Each structure stands twice: as C-alpha cells, then as structure tokens.
Amino acid sequence: MEFPSAWGAVLRNEPKNFLESVPDPTALTGNELAKSRSTRRRILDAARDILATQGYSRFSTLAVAERAGLTRPAMLYHFGSRLELVKATVHHLARQRIEVFEAALADISIEPGYKGQAVRAALVDTLWNQLQGPDFAAFTELVAAARTDSELRSITSPVLVAFDESRRAAAERVLPEGSYDPEDFQLSRDIVHYLLEGVLQQDSIAANRERRLAAIRHFLKMLVASTPGAEFLQAVTADWKANNPPA
C-alpha cells in the first residue's frame, strides 16, 4: 500500500473540519472595510493575552481595549458588550487552535511503510508544542471559569465538542481506512490529550519541573508509539470491548 509523503496532501483533499459550526468572529459583513478584519483580530489577540496573563476575573472590555491600543467605544463598535466579546474570543481561540493543529499535521512527513505508532508519536509532539502557547492558556482559563458560570458554559460547551471532533477527524484522515481500531485510536488520543492538558493546566509540578515533564512526555510516546505500548493498549481495548459491548 502506498502512502502520501506528507499529511498536507491528505488534509487538503478532505472536507473541512467540525469548526465550520463555530462562527468566525473576524468575518466581514455588508460593506465593511478589510481593515475591520485586522482590527477584530487585534482585539481578539488582546483578549487572549488578558486571559492568559491576568485571568478571567480581570477580563473586561476596558482592559482588552487598552491592550489592543483602542478606545473602549472603538472596541465596542466591533464587539458590543462583554458577553459578545467573550463569545467571540471563545470562537476565535478554538478556530486558531485547530488551524495550528492542522498546519502542524501538514508539515509532518510520513515515510513509506509507516505504522500507526509513528502517527501517534507525531501527535504527542504536536500537542505538546501547542500547549506551551497563550492560546491554550487563555482557552483553559475560559473553560475553568465556565464550571461556575452557566452563561459562559453555554458558550464553551458546544465549542468544546466541535473542537475535539475536529482534531479527531484531522488525525484520522491520515490513517488508511481499515488500518486501525477506532476505539484503540480514541483511547490513545484521550490518554495523550487529557494527561498532557491536565498536567499543564494544573501547573503544580515545581521541583525538578523540566525533567519530570520530559519524563511524562517520554512515557506517553512509549505508551502510544512503541510496539509494547501499542500492544498493551490494544489488549486494554479488546478487554474493554469484550466487557462493554455496544448497546
């Protein structure tokens, strides 16, 4: 079986991701000038920076306007209230993160005769790199705040579903149909995703932090991308399916 030399060749030929259901808050409407789009991006980048560095409790239209170098009325022209700005920021961050994820997939080369473990190893590295930036920090702040804010939760919940499904679909596009067990692949994704994000969200590793984080990253790659690790996950999946048949 022949495989493409780069993931980008596969991604470009696939349908768009689930984030089609998430509005683009920078999109132009009516007779707006093109500069309105860049102004909105500036505002949303400022909103991201406030969330990432100061937290949701310090998030206000005035703080964002000052960070963006605009007057508050000028900012409110684009996003008319704090709630509207919050919603736009959630959508913008989700779209940004999936676009970066897909771009990273497009840059990863696949050697002829590769195995699924190679794809999983690349996904560990890709996700690890993305979790170091302000987009992840800001998105995490919003999700955490949504736990006790029902209005915010109504905004983040559907976006989280679209975000997760979009990343799953992007990763699965590179795997030949029938070459992997969907539940095994989902389990490996969840282990990598939630362990890495959980470790970095908590940010509670203090002593010898870099070495311990590197050890966690190494553990994940051994678990999902080495032959013994892959065999262990396959055995776990088989046992799970045997004891939990589909309804």
Structure confidence by residue, pLDDT tens digits, 33-91: 777 888 999 999 999 999 999 999 999 999 999 999 999 999 999 999 999 999 999 99
Q: Could you tell me the two tokens for 15?
A: 């349908």
Query: Rounded CA gap, 196 and 190, in Å?
Result: 10
Q: What is the pLDDT of residues 152-167, one digit of tens each?
A: 999 999 999 988 888 8
**For position 227, what pLDDT does the model report?**
86
**For position 159, what pLDDT does the model report?**
92
Query: Rounded CA gap, 205 and 207, in Å?
Result: 6
Query: Rounded CA gap, 112 and 191, in Å?
Result: 27
Angstrom distances, CA of residue 95 to CA of 163, 199, 211, 216: 8, 23, 32, 28
In this prediction, residues 169-197 reach a mean pLDDT of: 79
The matching CATH number, chosen from 1.10.287, 2.40.10, 1.20.120, 1.10.357, for 7-17+89-243 is: 1.10.357
Looking at the predicted structure, is the pLDDT value of residue 150 above 90? yes
- Give pTM, 2 decimals: 0.81
Q: What is the pLDDT of residues 189-224, one digit of tens each?
A: 888 888 888 887 777 777 888 898 889 889 998 988
Query: Rounded CA gap, 195 and 61, in Å?
Result: 34
Q: Could you tell me the two tokens for 207?
A: 């002593």
Q: Find where tokens 């795997």 sit.
A: 175
Query: Rounded CA gap, 141 and 26, in Å?
Result: 21
**For position 109, what pLDDT does the model report?**
62
Query: Rounded CA gap, 82 and 62, in Å?
Result: 9
Q: What is the pLDDT of residues 108-133, one digit of tens each?
A: 665 555 556 777 787 788 888 888 88
**CB atoms closer than 10 angstroms to residue 240:** 12
